[in-house]
Structure 1
Amino acid sequence: MWGIGVAVYGLAVFHRSSLAVAGLVATERFGIGASQLAVFTMLQLLVYALMQVPVGLLVDRFGSRTVLSAGAVILAVAQAGFAFADSYPLALLARTFVGMGDAMTFICVLRLVPSWFPTRKVPLVSQLTGTIGQIGAIAAAVPMTWALGHLGWTRAYLTAALIGPVLLVLLLLFVHDGPGTRHRRGIALNPREVFRSLKASWYQPGTRLGFWIHFSTPFSSHLMGLLWGFPFLVTSEGLSDTLAGTLLSVTVVAALAAGPVMGILAGRHPWHRSTLALTMIAVIASVWTLVLAWPGEAPLPVLLLLMCVVGFGGPASMIGFDVGRTSNPPARMASASGIINQGGFVAALLVIVLVGWILDWRTAGDSTSYTPEAFRWAMSVQYLFWGVGVVQIWRHRRDVRRRTTREQVAAGSSMVAD
């Protein structure tokens, strides 16, 4: 059951990431520049982020199985539409629906975990959900590079779209919302109750801390994996297409390796979860500094190190969901997760767009003349987002610790959750 859910999420990650290695091909197919190329990912992420709260409410109301099935259908149709798109507006429309279907997967699978696993295993299984699902990004790197080169645009994307119906059949046959419960339905909410529920989730300090952890940790991975990693490695660092695609896959392997470790640490040391997130931000920013400050092209081992630590951002972002889970009642879990999930994708959206704008500014809008200097300017925009995130994490974790301590002293408990 859980494996099928993760497979659907992995397929969503594949569709989300499938443009990463096709960026240069897309500029030629649609006759666009860097800013217009960035709009593909910007629009997709914008739809994803805006859908998170509505999807959370839908999951709380109709259950994971129903919403996940709808997401799988939308993804398959949207990717097929992208395969046949022959103009920029049609391609944008298709990517909009890719973002919509993508938004309807992760929260659904994450909501299934507490229903099927013991509480003590939830942090680890949640980490595994996020990290194993990222295998979809590996399939969107080297295999998609091969498919584009040998099958062409339409057949490559159409083949990818056909995987969806197969997983949908398995989902409908085997996935249940809970033990002995095929469909789980929540109470119907009127607009006033929806507003009250969302307000209660947001004003819970743990939700806001989770939001800023998720804002600060994964956007560098999205930046590299969704759009700008391939052009950066090929154009700025002088790597071949195949080697660049392989390095992008390393981020996923690193995430798979780091995910279980972070899940175990978060479960054993709940008071230090935000400290773990801050440590990962510092590591990612430090290695980026090493690469951007390197005179000329950075050596392959340094780029390999960068891909590894960038990959750690995904598992680190899952800490935000764990903080939200321990801070909200079960009835608000999916909607709170939706709020938290917005953080990383809002940050990724803004970073990706800003990188495109800066590249156009430094190269006069010519996508064939990207230079290492232009990429250094563009990639440096990440420091602004890390700075904002660190300040907000530090601020909200103090609120969580004060509130948690008061509540647990009143309850006579020594358990803490930050």
Structure 2
Amino acid sequence: MMAHPVQHFPVGGRRAWLVWASAIAVYVLAVFHRTSLGVAGLQAAERFGISSAQLSTFTIVQLFVYAAMQLPVGALLDRFGSKRLLGVGLTLLTASQFAFAFVDSFAAALVCRVLLGMGDAMVFISVLRLAALWFSPRRTPMVTQLTGLLGQLGALAAAGPLAAALHAFGWTRSYAVASSLGVLTGILLVVVVKDSPYADHDRDELRLRAMARTLANAWRVPGTRLGLWSHFTSQFSANMFTMLWGFPFLLSGQGVTPLTASALLMLMTVTTMITSPVIGSLTMRFPFSRSTLVLAIVGLGMLMWTVVLALPGPAPVWVLALLVVAVAMGGPGSMIGFDLARTFNPPTRLGSASGIVNTGGFVATLMAVALVGVVLDRVAPAGPTAWDHDAFRLAMLVQYPVWALGIAQTLRYRRRARRAALEADPEAYAALRAGRPATFH
């Protein structure tokens, strides 16, 4: 008879919060590094002597590497655990940003962005897996939303302090000091974080040769693909805006001052932090309607983009403020995708399922960032100096086909996931409809 695993720490106890908080520090730093180029685009173009197309290549390459690594990282996470992958990811982030501070060629800078994408890919789903193992299923959705909320502190630091540091101290000093934060965070990771409150978790039964099977099993679950398309549809607009095109859109397309543009980007971060617990609470209260909540958030963002793009000239600042608030809600909205995957997968597949879900939003972001750049190159071939309201209005229209694809697939897999859940466990399905937590493994 198999003995029950030895539990060293209580689920949801003090140690659980310490582990999660230490992992969050790594995630905050990852978000900071991920979005740091969003406020340094003009300096990067000048430093490396590159065109607007080459500038967008930085973000495209970074996103491509991030998205491409989600599946293998998810499988590795199930094999090796969160602590090891967080350590490797933090090392890559720190090394890439330190090198980025000193390189002065486009090719070398691209290598740095590749390494940054690799490191970033290992962080978020590692933190989510810790949350799923250290907290009860009832509390996990709120902890997941808090993860996304606190991660936005990194974006806030990029939009504010980093932008100010670049202006005051220059490129090399700013990026070098920023990279050094990884050393302090690494110490916290080594000392505090444990993969599981149990002495011997189920993940230890997995072997490297089983990775492909684990991924395939997670992919076959309709709920996993519902999570993927929910993430795909809700996250990309906010990512596209904060990671590259938002600042130029506001300056060149809407004619606001750099100070106003920075304030609007910071408003996005504040909105994400405020709405995350609200969306997390709604996710817990209405588990059967989680995908409906995703679609409502996406619809609000589409509405505000339509208002802004329909105007014959630049929008008033208050309208732009409403736009960034609506777009920012897509960030916490995308977290619902991970909660959907958690509902339909056992703990031994959480890493793989989360990796699949996380691929969605970043593939969509990659598409949007690339398409905006392509349109800008066609309508304003002279480069950034030729970007204006009309050019950006045409370029931002590329979001609508991406939304249409995501909405259609979300509706498709919602039907499949609900049907599969009803067939697998009618009692759990009834509990879910009644607003109680349920899992379908």
Q: Output the TM-score relative to the length of structure 2.
A: 0.92
Q: Is the contact between residue 65 and residue 183 of structure 1 (CA under 8 Å) also seen in structure 2?
A: no
Match of 1:110, as an amino acid?
L
The equivalent of 2:76 in structure 1 is 58
Match of 2:291 among 274, 288, 312: 274
The equivalent of 2:33 in structure 1 is 15
Name the SS for the 2:402 alignment partner.
helix
Partner Cα separation in structure 1 for residue 281 and residue 71 of structure 2: 28
The equivalent of 1:321 in structure 2 is 338
Partner Cα separation in structure 2 for residue 137 and residue 186 of structure 1: 35
Q: CA deviation at 1:35?
A: 1.3
Residue correspondence of structure 1 range 190-339 to structure 2 within 5 A = 190-191=208-209, 193-339=210-356
Match of 1:88 among 92, 98, 106: 106
Partner Cα separation in structure 2 for residue 270 and residue 412 of structure 1: 11
Partner Cα separation in structure 2 for residue 409 and residue 338 of structure 1: 28
Q: CA deviation at 1:413?
A: 5.5
Percent identical among aligned pairs is: 48
Root-mean-square deviation (Å): 1.7
Match of 1:173 among 169, 182, 191: 191
Residues 311 and 411 (structure 1 numbering): CA distance in 2 closer, same or farther, change over 3 Å?
closer
The equivalent of 1:4 in structure 2 is 22
Partner Cα separation in structure 2 for residue 144 and residue 254 of structure 1: 20
Q: Is the contact between residue 235 and residue 370 of structure 1 (CA under 8 Å) also seen in structure 2?
A: yes
The equivalent of 1:25 in structure 2 is 43
The equivalent of 1:114 in structure 2 is 132
Partner Cα separation in structure 1 for residue 422 and residue 88 of structure 2: 41
Q: CA deviation at 1:85?
A: 1.1
Say whether 1:384 aligns with 2:401.
yes
Partner Cα separation in structure 2 for residue 411 and residue 296 of structure 1: 53
Name the SS for the 1:297 alignment partner.
coil
Q: CA deviation at 1:51?
A: 1.0
Q: Output the TM-score relative to the length of structure 1.
A: 0.97
Q: CA deviation at 1:180?
A: 5.6
Residue correspondence of structure 1 range 11-160 to structure 2 within 5 A = 11-160=29-178
The number of residue pairs the alignment matches comes to: 417
Name the SS for the 1:178 alignment partner.
coil
Q: CA deviation at 1:364?
A: 1.1
The equivalent of 2:389 in structure 1 is 372
| Greater mean alpha carbon deviation, residues 194-203 or residues 119-128 | 194-203
Partner Cα separation in structure 1 for residue 77 and residue 40 of structure 2: 33
Partner Cα separation in structure 2 for residue 249 and residue 183 of structure 1: 41
Q: Is the contact between residue 63 and residue 184 of structure 1 (CA under 8 Å) also seen in structure 2?
A: no
Q: Is the contact between residue 63 and residue 183 of structure 1 (CA under 8 Å) also seen in structure 2?
A: no
Q: Is the contact between residue 79 and residue 208 of structure 2 (CA under 8 Å) also seen in structure 1?
A: no
Q: CA deviation at 1:179?
A: 2.3
Residues 403 and 144 (structure 1 numbering): CA distance in 2 closer, same or farther, change over 3 Å?
same
| Greater mean alpha carbon deviation, residues 112-121 or residues 285-294 | 112-121
The equivalent of 1:407 in structure 2 is 424
Name the SS for the 1:119 alignment partner.
coil
Partner Cα separation in structure 2 for residue 183 and residue 406 of structure 1: 29
Match of 2:388, as an amino acid?
T
Gap runs ≥5 in structure 2: 1-18
Partner Cα separation in structure 1 for residue 77 and residue 331 of structure 2: 23
Partner Cα separation in structure 2 for residue 383 and residue 128 of structure 1: 29
Q: Is the contact between residue 60 and residue 334 of structure 1 (CA under 8 Å) also seen in structure 2?
A: yes
